[in-house]
Amino acid sequence: EIVNPDAGVRFEIGATKYTDELKVCEKYIENQKIPQSEEQKIESIITFLENLKISREYIKRAREAIIKNESKDAVKFLKKGNGFLVSLLQLAPGQLEKFKDYKIVEILICSEISKMEFLRAFLLVSLGRISTSIDSLERAALFSTIIHNFKTCLTLNYVKALILLFHGLYSNAIMQYNFTEELAEIYKDDKLKLKCLIGKAIAIYIQGEDRTTAINIMDGISNIDFEKNFLDAIIVFSELGDYFLALGHSQIAANLYNEALEISIDYKLSFKSDILIEKLKRAYIATVLNGYSAEDIMVDKLDVLLDKAYSVKDIEKYNEQIKKISSFNILFYTPFPHISGKKKAIPFSSLPDELKEDYLEVVHFEKLTD
């Protein structure tokens, strides 16, 4: 279950009547002390639980490799762990006589496979192996579905759409958004449905073949009654902005943050407005550092599309908030004055005084050789 959708993917067990037994199993796998009365509940599947302990060693090795920046080795460990678990799952029906025992083992194994596949997909994206990453996400979603963890399945399908969008595979992204939107409709997840509509509109607009459809989607969003779900709308626009900013598309992120800001102002959520102003600052800083490009296909007139999603009503309050970042607006369209000549590392003491102010943020880390 996903307790907080903005915190990421939570791999837990879906609805089941074996909740108590599964909690005991988890304690056993993690080598926690359990009373004899609880251990009796799982004694018939101890062999499988011991094997699940072994499978978690592969995850531990993968994490150690990640810490050492050895992503390829981490991917290998996860692949071996998955193979081990798939074999274990195939053995279960023949070795477990009771249906209850099999279902408990199936839930545990499928949950572990789903975790591994998601982590593997994440690493494969970082290695530029997009096609293989998508395969892993699909497997993670499949095994989540088997154990009725539908919320995680929905999130994984949405992540798949994002990856396709961010890597320029627009036709595939549009199809994936359509599928995820259908899932959201079935499982009555209105927030995810809104995410899919926005993502799909962006993909269609960037693709450039049918911008009228993209604009119509945004017009449809503008007709949504935000009185009931204005907080969800703010979260959706802000979250999507975070994704675009993290992946280097700061100008699109700024447009998305601005939509969230407009909604937060009209619904008098000052605490949200303050957070979004800070996010806008980060987006502007990133744009200045990366260099503003009006020719960028990812940005060309996209603000026109996103502006159709919502029109701010309290113009005076909006202008008041925007004044807070007026200096960043100026920088948005001018070269950063302190970046010139050959790239080199210099001590903090040698920085220009205006770059030593304590309100500036670290936007990039790079390990320097000794």
pLDDT digits (tens, 9 = 90+) for 124-172: 998 999 999 999 999 999 999 999 999 999 999 999 999 999 888 999 9
Q: What is the DSSP string of 332-343?
A: HTS--TT--SS-
pLDDT grade for 326, boundaries at 50, 70 and 90: low
Quote the pLDDT of residue 147. 92
Tokens read off for 318: 């909006």
In sequence order, what E strands does the chain have? none
Cβ atoms 161, 177 nearer than 8 A = yes
Lowest mean pLDDT segment, chosen from 23-32, 80-89, 270-279: 270-279
CA pair distance 33, 51, nearest whole angstrom = 18
Quote the pLDDT of residue 304. 58
Average pLDDT, the chain: 82
Quote the pLDDT of residue 295. 42
| CA dist list (Å): 331 to 98, 169, 288, 334 | 68, 32, 7, 5
CB atoms near residue 49 (< 10 Å): 18
Higher pLDDT, 356 or 120: 120
| CA dist list (Å): 293 to 152, 245, 254 | 37, 15, 14
* pLDDT for residue 189 is more than 60: yes
* pLDDT for residue 49 is more than 60: yes
| CA dist list (Å): 40 to 45, 131, 189 | 10, 45, 40
User: Can you tell me the mean pLDDT for 313-319?
Assistant: 72
Higher pLDDT, 253 or 362: 253
Higher pLDDT, 98 or 209: 98
* pLDDT for residue 244 is more than 50: yes
Higher pLDDT, 138 or 306: 138
Tokens read off for 320: 């008041």
Quote the pLDDT of residue 115. 93
* pLDDT for residue 71 is more than 60: yes
Cβ atoms 273, 237 nearer than 8 A = no
**Helix, strand and coil in the chain, % to nearest 5:** 70, 0, 30
Quote the pLDDT of residue 308. 61
